[in-house]
Structure 1
Amino acid sequence: MQFFQVNSKTPSCHGIKNLILISCFACTIYFLHPFILVPNSNFLDYSFVSSHDQQFDLSSPITLQNVVFGIASNSKSWSKRKEYVKLWWKPNEMRGCVFLEKNLPNSTTTTNDSIPLPPICISEDISRFPYTNKGGSPSAIRVARVVSETVALNLNHSDVKWFVFGDDDTIFFQENLVKTLSKYDNGLWYYIGSNSESFIQNKFFSFDMAFGGAGFAISYPLAKILARVFDSCIERYPHLYGSDGRIHACLTELGVTLTHEPGFHQMDFLGNAFGLLAAHPIKPLVSLHHMEKIDPIFPNMTRMKSLEHLYHVANFDPQRILQQTVCYDRRFSWTVSVSWGYVVQVFEHNVQLPDAQRVQESYLPWKKNAHGTLYEFNTRKFEADPCKRQLVYFLDEVSLGVDGIKTIYKKKAYENCTITKNSPRKLDEIRVFSHKLELDKKQLVAPRRHCCDILPSTSDKVMEIGIRECKEDELIYMHN
């Protein structure tokens, strides 16, 4: 009774208190109702963001130390193909494994060579997995599992941001690989690579699959999940031919699509690779594959010496290697195409820039069938008659001076062709001057081709060219 008596004495105070309590309760319900109704969804999202921010420091630059390589090989091919890996492996800066199906005879260490190589890892047993493709080999399962086994070996390394996979005859250009990956948020799910140059290869396997020989990259969080579910995926795809098909199938089941990077090269053709190398897209050169199927890329050299020659000049300016720059000599109506560090081509006529960028079909098709000569890029005829063909000057030497980098290109073959008054055939040497290319993230995402100028020369047998950034509104064409 006393309680009611007290309230009856202060009715206005009682109403205010109730209003405050009801308001506080309503506010509490409003803010907590998402957690009460769907606690798992929001809690998991919050946890993911928190752990993501802690694990992936996107402000720090990516280095080779943040990349782990998984290289697929076998005991028969490794003794020969390790020479390719020697070209690009940096033992003090890189980590990863070469996966073999068994130990090499009389070898318990990585190698007895003077040049260190990646450590050898022995693949796990794959006999429990079915394989039904009549045209392939069950070893494709072992090679596919290089992905999950590489991830398993590196789960406790907090500084890993990317996993990169390739074959024992895949050669990487390490600085360009890191530069390419630096465009992407390594905390997200990325599957980065390229398909084949051959239309029929893509038609048969997939237009959206990263071909394993070209190499491909998977971001750490995606690789971690892929490794967790990969064996179950293998069980569902016994009919597939290769390793990269199984990886692609499982990533597809995870809802991840390929991010195309044209700097990865499968090289699905035979013979002379000149046409492709001389018209490289304006993206950093990341990898080359199938070099045993390709002629030496420089004349009068062995295959390995020619690759060493390319790597030598690439060390001076990695991001500019193979980058094509086109300029025009108005005096003689010549078109000059510089594929830096590789060749300079001089055409005796006006070749408009879209045509100069087309790949010359200097090679032979990978498959001899009705669609074997169809490719995934714009092509043009490679003139068979050397006297009707453009003049080609191959890289001879490179040097670094106070004014930048100088590359010298020389003719390696002399044809018995008629030389007219204004013919470029009188040229014996071409000198190209440039500064080291240092692309920032914006330039990597939205690249622009560089321009070049024909410089005054002291000799009619020497042409000098300067490469520079194009002016804002500059057009690359033959001026009158």
Structure 2
Amino acid sequence: MKNFKESSTSNPLSNFVNCIVFISCLIFGIYIILSLALVPNALLLWQYHSANSVHNSSSTIITSLEHIAFGIAASDKSWSRRKEYVRLWWRPEVMKGCVFLEQMPPISENDRVSLPPICISADTSRFKYTNKYGRRSAIRVARVVSETVALMNNNSDVRWFVFGDDDTVFFPDNLVKTLQKYDHGLWYYIGTNSEYFETNKGNSFEMAFGGAGFAISSPLAKVLGKVLDSCLIRYHGVYGSDARIHICLAELGVSLTHEPGFHQMDMKGNIFGLLTAHPIRPLISLHHIDKLYPIFPNMRSLEALIQLVKAAKADPERILQQTVCYDQLSSTFSVSWGYAIQQWRWNALLRDIIRAQETYIPWNKNENYDVDTQRYDPNPCKRPDVFFFDSVSSNRDGTTSIYKKADRNCTKNKNKIDVIRVSSKKLDLNAKQMQAPRRQCCDVLQSSSSARSSVIDIGIRECGAEELIQMKLQE
């Protein structure tokens, strides 16, 4: 005992260490007890931070076509004809999605490799439909949303769900560019209204029209897919499919994010005036192709679309972008790239040029359109000369597009110009330019002429910091 006491009392450092160890164990034990008591909150906090860290890491990867799933609504009656519109824009090597039909159609080998897969819509007979002006197929089309989401349930790469009709022509590169502006981890419902005021008034100015197409971010689409059927039950008296989707999203507290690059085209006839005054936003979609005149003269509708898509492939973001310039000879040029150029033989006011000409026919008589338009003069001698897109070539320096003069019925027209040649760099808008777009400028360059023809050269470029798009006043 003596030795023990001597050893224990002679080592105060050992006693101090033992005391520290005891206190540490006590504190650790209390921490464990408190942690167990707070496990649910701790788990929720961990899940929150984990979800955010996964989203933040995935957000560093720029959205591409591989991140989009398409749901295309079609019918047995229309698909055999309209599938050619879908074939124009579908890229089977990178796109995912489905065309929804009532039953499986005949599928050729060409269809199998160049069109989306066919999905058969689920039976909707259990749902009531009481709108006497519409068709109950609106229920089946609305459920394309939930069925597409279910189809992609195991695909974690999907950031956006995009929906449209079989006569919706998408411009995929511009769709991607537009969606890159938005955080796919948030709840977004993106699309456009009808051009027809009364249609918007009757539905909602916050409703995206399904023919123009609309996009829903993945987290919102997954929630919508779970609750959509309950909305279909409650809103059996609503007219269309897009109205059902809109009201269900409204119940979730989500409103529409407007993107003017989507186009419903609720009109008939010639849409020249609308296309030549396109908003300063990338062209995303065109709809109602069957109801419209061919957008290029002396072509069928499909041929005309192929012509437009040819230009879009060369410079997707520039397609239909309107540029206005004035030359020294008091002429005014409006270049709607990849589509048409208009030449006024006088100094035309910019405010008039950027307004859409009323070349179309109203869907119904006496309709009011929610579009900034101006009267289309019936006298061809009072209208500008029109040159339509013919061809395009590309190289390292940019693109050269050719526009040829259209036939005119004005016998007083002495304009000798037959061809306009436009040079430009490929348009690649950065994030800031997408958020705050600005119209580009152009210059009328030196022209070449001969006894048989005359050519004008126009160069498109970015405007200077303080540059105005203004007419050249003669001294």
Q: Same fold (TM over 0.5)?
A: yes
Distance 1:166 1:52 in 2: 31
> What amino acid is aligned across from residue 392 of structure 2 in structure 1?
V
1:379 equivalent to 2:373? Answer yes
Aligned residue for 2:330? 333
Partner of 2:47: 47
Distance 2:304 2:52 in 1: 44
Equivalent-residue separation in structure 1 for 2:238 and 2:108 (angstroms): 32
1:18 is matched with which residue?
Answer: none
TM-score of the aligned structures, taking structure 2 as reference length? 0.88
Superposed, which structure 2 residues align to 1:170-189 within 5 Å?
Answer: 170-189=168-187
Can you list the C-alpha shifts for 1:38-75, whole angstroms capped at 9, x where unaligned?
976x9757634532431561110111111000000011
Deviation at 1:115, TM superposition (A): 5.5
Runs of 4+ with >4 A deviation: 42-46, 109-112
Q: Secondary structure at the match of 1:292?
A: helix
1:479 aligns with 2:472: yes
In the alignment, the residues of structure 2 paired with residue 47 and residue 283 of structure 1 have an alpha-carbon distance, to the nearest angstrom, of: 39
Instruction: Please point out which of 341, 349, 353 is paired with 1:352.
Output: 349
Q: Is the 8 A contact 1:110 1:118 kept in 2?
A: no
In structure 2, relative to structure 1, the CA distance for the partners of 1:473 and 1:43 (3 Å cut) is farther
Cα deviation digits, residues 317-348 of structure 1 (max 9, x gap):
0000000000011x221111000000000112
In the other structure, the counterpart of 1:4 is: none
1:274 to 272, 285, 297: 272
Q: CA deviation at 1:397?
A: 1.1
From 389, 398, 408, the equivalent of 1:404 is 398
Could you tell me which residue of structure 1 aligns to residue 5 of structure 2? none
Root-mean-square deviation (Å): 2.2
Aligned to 2:433: 443
Q: Distance in 2 between matches of 1:443 and 1:266?
A: 25
Partner Cα distance (1:45, 1:287) in 2:
42
Q: Secondary structure at the match of 1:336?
A: strand
Correspondences of 1:22-41 after superposition (within 5 Å): none
Paired residues for 1:297-316 under 5 Å: 297-316=295-314
2:153 maps to 1:151: no
Contact 2:399 2:426 in 1 (8 A): yes
Conserved? CA contact 1:52–1:187, under 8 Å: no
Structure 2 distance, partners of 1:48, 1:310, is 47
SS of the aligned residue for 2:439 comes to coil
Q: Contact 2:330/2:472 (CA < 8 Å) preserved in 1?
A: no
Structure 2: distance between partners of 1:354 and 1:304? 33
1:142 to 125, 140, 143: 140
Tell me the SS of whatever aligns to 1:396. Answer: strand
The 5-angstrom pairing of residues 10-409 of structure 1 reads 44=44, 47-55=47-55, 57-104=58-105, 107=106, 113=111, 116-329=114-327, 331-369=328-366, 372=367, 374-409=368-403
Aligned-pair CA distance for 1:203:
1.2
Measured after TM superposition, the shift of residue 479 of structure 1 is 2.9
Shift of 1:441: 1.1
Describe the superposition over 1:218-242 as per-residue Cα deviations: whole angstroms up to 9, x where unpaired: 0000000000111111111001010
1:8 corresponds in structure 2 to none
CA distance in 1, matches of 2:104, 2:304: 31
Question: Aligned-pair distance for 1:206?
Answer: 1.3
Name the SS of the counterpart of 1:78 in structure 2. helix
C-alpha displacement of 1:419: 3.9
Relative distance call for 1:44 and 1:240 in structure 2 (3 A) is farther
Matches of 2:196 and 2:46, distance apart in 1: 45
Structure 1 letter corresponding to 2:81: K
1:273-296 deviation digits (Å, cap 9, x = unpaired): 100000000100000000101100
- Partner Cα separation in structure 2 for residue 53 and residue 267 of structure 1: 42
Give the partner amino acid of 1:254.
Answer: L
Aligned residue type for 1:426: K
Sequence identity of aligned pairs in percent?
A: 58
The corresponding residue for 1:467 is 460
Tell me, in whole angstroms, the C-alpha distance in 1 between the residues paired with 2:177 and 2:189. Answer: 16
Q: 1:407 to 1:112 in 2, by over 3 A?
A: closer
CA distance in 1, matches of 2:40, 2:370: 49
- SS at 2:114 equivalent: coil
For the residues of structure 1 that align with 2:179 and 2:359, how far apart are their CA atoms? Answer: 31
Q: Deviations over 1:145-185 (max 9, x none)?
A: 00000000101101110000000000000000001001000
Q: Distance in 1 between matches of 2:48 and 2:109?
A: 42
Q: Could you list the per-position Cα deviations for residues 416-466 of structure 1 after superposition, in whole angstroms to 9, with x for gaps in the alignment?
A: 42246xxxx221111110010011111111111100001011227211100
* 1:430 match: 420
Paired positions, count: 441
Q: Is the 8 A contact 2:357 2:375 kept in 1?
A: yes
Does the 8 Å CA contact 2:417/2:455 hold for their aligned counterparts?
yes
Note if contact 2:194-2:209 (Cα within 8 Å) is conserved in structure 1: yes
Q: Tell me the distance in 1 between the aligned counterparts of 2:48 and 2:169.
A: 36
The structural deviation recorded for 1:393 is 0.4
How many angstroms apart in 2 are the aligned matches of 1:200 and 1:210?
Answer: 15
Give the whole-Å Cα distance in 2 for the aligned partners of 1:376 and 1:163: 28
